[in-house]
Amino acid sequence: MKSFTDNKGRTWTLEVTVATVKRVRALCKVDLNSIVELDKDNKPSAELLERLSSDPVLLVDELYAVCKSQADKLGITDEDFGEAMAGDAIEHATTALLEEVISFFPEAKRMVMQKILSASRRFSEAARKKLEAELNGEFESRVVSTLEQLTGSSGNALESAE
């Protein structure tokens, strides 16, 4: 079982079972079984994984559904749960959820899913590094130049104002 801590310091333990999959289907209209599936050309597709990574609200709703029995015992509503989920808490919860979903499946599917997740992480890291390089390089120079033009001052004047 994997766990994560929300922004209010509460630790949540994730356990994906058949009952969990059914609960997520009922509450979120999302099938954890399709986190990785074959497309029409019989190639692995991670459409749901992509959807979850681009929709933090859906992701947090799904996390709440997975943690619902714990939340009910603590008297925490889905709104309370969502209020404690932002930033790094979402990232850590996502990692825990994906790892727990992967471990739910039999070995053959688990191996495929692990490879897809690993490739996705490598791609995300490469994209992050590229964006960071861009922001630290030419983009930053363009922003400073534009600010200098707008304010009629040089970068040194901006620095001394700080």
Domain range for residue 83?
2-104
> Residue 21 domain-assigned?
yes
Q: Digits of tens for pLDDT over the chain (162 positions)?
A: 999 999 999 999 999 999 999 999 999 998 888 776 666 776 666 677 778 778 899 999 999 999 999 999 999 999 999 999 999 999 999 989 988 988 898 887 778 777 777 766 676 677 777 777 777 777 777 777 888 888 876 545 445 444
> Residue 162 domain-assigned?
no
Concatenated DSSP letters of 38-55: E-TTS-EE-HHHHHHHH-
Q: How many domains does the chain have?
A: 1
CA separation for the pair 146, 152 (Å, rounded): 10
CA atoms within 13 A on the CB side of 54: 6
pTM, whole model, 2 decimals?
Answer: 0.70
> Residue 65 domain-assigned?
yes
> Residue 91 domain-assigned?
yes
> Residue 124 domain-assigned?
no
Instruction: Tell me the CA distances in angstroms from 103 to 8, 65, 108, one per residue in order.
Output: 27, 18, 11
CA separation for the pair 96, 98 (Å, rounded): 6
CA separation for the pair 31, 25 (Å, rounded): 5
